[in-house]
Structure 1
Amino acid sequence: MNWLNKLERKFGRFAIHNLTMYLIGGYVIGYGIYYLMPNLLNWLTLEPGMILHGQVWRIVSWVLIPPSGNILTIIIMMMLYYSLGNALERTWGAFRYNVYIFSGILFTVIGAFILYFITGGFIGLGIFFSTYYINMSIFLAFAASYPDMELLLYFILPIKIKWMALVYAVMILYTMVRGNIAVRVAIVASLLNFVIFFFSSRNMKPYSPKERARKTKFKQQSRPHMTYPGGARHRCAVCGRTELDDPTLEFRFCSKCNGNYEYCQDHLFTHQHVK
């Protein structure tokens, strides 16, 4: 995913941290509307025909529509997805998690418009589009990243999350087979982000939990040996210069030296290897 790496280097600083909390906050607003002004929800659905007639807020307002269920299941659902979303954000980084969530939202909007034109401008498609399958994509992404983690089913039975994901995948396929074209488009559009991230990427290893833990451990072990006077993080083992002496200097470790020896660009290829 070289294109994603390039985007992260260029726009990573604009990533929204703790994005899952904002999504849950949107649900809270949605529940407030449901109990105080239930008729207003009809003005928030993802309805392409209405958007084309000027109700452009529907492009984003549909994410406020909360999932149905009793108060207990809703609270449990929010707690679960808050935990899963935060874990993914820590594993992938805020930018990649942002791209994953917003691409799911974007694909859902595009799918709604495709369905609108396929059906010849049918009004009433908003009931088929919600954040349900986007939430499902979070669960599937977590299961792909942490397949052997155990959850307590009904707070009693321990089960590995990969088996739960397999059950959900079968349920999704069954729904697609039995559902109409609107249901199929809604499912495919909402889960397209998962397909792109985990089936089109040739190497997700750097963002696996094991690899992240290894890098974190390495940084913790190397940090005491890589802090120099004045707060410098790099120092040439030959000339002693740091990035504070010359911000244009580049530093590299030598793979042929025994130990963590770092050299500036002027001495990387001219120093004597430490054996």
Structure 2
Amino acid sequence: MDWISKLERKFGRYAITNLTLLFIGSNALGYLLMYTAPALLAYLTLEPGLILRGQVWRLITWIVIPSGGNVLAVIIMLFFYYSIGTSMERTWGTFRYNLYLFSGILFTVIGAFILYFIFGGGYGYGWYFSSYYLCLSIFLAFAASYPDMEVLLYFVIPLKVKWLAWLDVAYLAYDMIRGGFATRVVIIASLLNFVLFYFSTKNLKPYSPKERVRKAKYKQKMRPTNHYANGAKHKCAVCSRTELDDPSLEFRYCSKCNGNYEYCQDHLFTHVHIK
């Protein structure tokens, strides 16, 4: 089991459902402030120097800072990111998606403090950081999970998501080459969550769309037979224990037995196969 799955077993119950709505809502608020009260945005930026002086709300309010654009483009972008964000939450599960988004926020904050200390303190770093790269990290995760899905560029040109993702990667590489040290830190810190999720996780296959559909169909097929006393969903065919007897028990079906026979972890490999 990979490290993310271990965290999910311990802290999964604390995950925030429909986190994308909160994130996109904060983006919408940022654009509203940009058009109506832009001076207020200066009090929300990610400024390490001011955070160290007690303005701790900046640790999270910087995600409100918009990346610019006209009204129509902003509306389309917000709906698009809400769509792919909710898709990722359904594909990965609430906890994994929460961890992905919050780790992106954390790494960005760390990047801001790195800039602050390397350049000897001071102010003015906050405007480097906005919700742009967080949104981009969600899109890259979506492209990695649904590479062959097609979207209509400018509502006319059909393109697969993976090609748009590669264009974004190429543009990021170009920005890192032409930009200064601060630009490189911002990009790396903001997208480090994507790198960690796809290179340090041992096995993402259980969270792929195809695997999710297969599991959903399997659960639907097995649901009529998985009703036991007191509402238990699993029961060992050998010892008759259920998850109500011991919540730490794990149950599996045996592929060598004829029929839908389920066994606990103690009898999965020791039982006599039913033919």
Whether these two folds match at TM > 0.5 is yes
Code of the aligned partner of 1:128: Y
Code of the aligned partner of 2:167: V
Matched with 2:116 is 116
Alignment of 1:54-69 (within 5 A): 54-69=54-69
Question: Deviation of residue 171 (structure 1)?
Answer: 0.4
Question: Deviation of residue 231 (structure 1)?
Answer: 3.5
CA contact (8 A) 1:233 1:242 kept: no
Distance 1:20 1:137, change over 3 A: same
CA contact (8 A) 1:232 1:242 kept: no
Matched with 2:197 is 197
Q: Structure 1, unaligned stretches of length 5 or more?
A: none
Code of the aligned partner of 2:245: P
Q: Structure 2, unaligned stretches of length 5 or more?
A: none
Q: Secondary structure at the match of 2:242?
A: coil
Q: Distance in 1 between matches of 2:183 and 2:262?
A: 57
Distance 1:141 1:236, change over 3 A: closer
Distance 1:75 1:231, change over 3 A: same
Q: Cα RMSD between the aligned structures? A: 2.3
1:166 is the counterpart of 2:166: yes
Q: Distance in 2 between matches of 1:62 and 1:124?
A: 13
Q: Distance in 2 between matches of 1:196 and 1:96?
A: 13
Alignment of 1:6-155 (within 5 A): 6-155=6-155
Q: Distance in 1 between matches of 2:202 and 2:272?
A: 39
* Identity across the alignment (%): 63
Q: Which moved more, 1:29-38 or 1:189-198?
A: 29-38
Code of the aligned partner of 1:10: K
Q: Distance in 2 between matches of 1:100 and 1:263?
A: 34
Q: Structure 1 length normalisation: TM-score? A: 0.91
Distance 1:191 1:272, change over 3 A: closer
Q: Distance in 1 between matches of 2:174 and 2:85?
A: 26
Equivalent residues, number: 273
Q: Distance in 1 between matches of 2:165 and 2:262?
A: 45
Cα deviation per residue 1:53-96 (whole Å; 9 max; x = unaligned)?
22221111111122311110001000100011011100100101
Q: Distance in 2 between matches of 1:34 and 1:264?
A: 58
CA contact (8 A) 2:2 2:202 kept: no
Q: Secondary structure at the match of 1:68?
A: coil
Cα deviation per residue 1:126-171 (whole Å; 9 max; x = unaligned)?
1111111111011111000110000011111111000010011000
Matched with 1:247 is 245
Q: Secondary structure at the match of 2:257?
A: coil
CA contact (8 A) 1:147 1:161 kept: yes
Q: Which moved more, 1:219-228 or 1:43-52?
A: 219-228
Q: Secondary structure at the match of 1:4?
A: helix
Q: Distance in 1 between matches of 2:75 and 2:125?
A: 28
**Rg bigger for which structure?**
1
Alignment of 1:248-263 (within 5 A): 248=246, 252-263=252-263
Q: Distance in 1 between matches of 2:257 and 2:144?
A: 38
Question: Deviation of residue 264 (structure 1)?
Answer: 6.1
Matched with 2:187 is 187
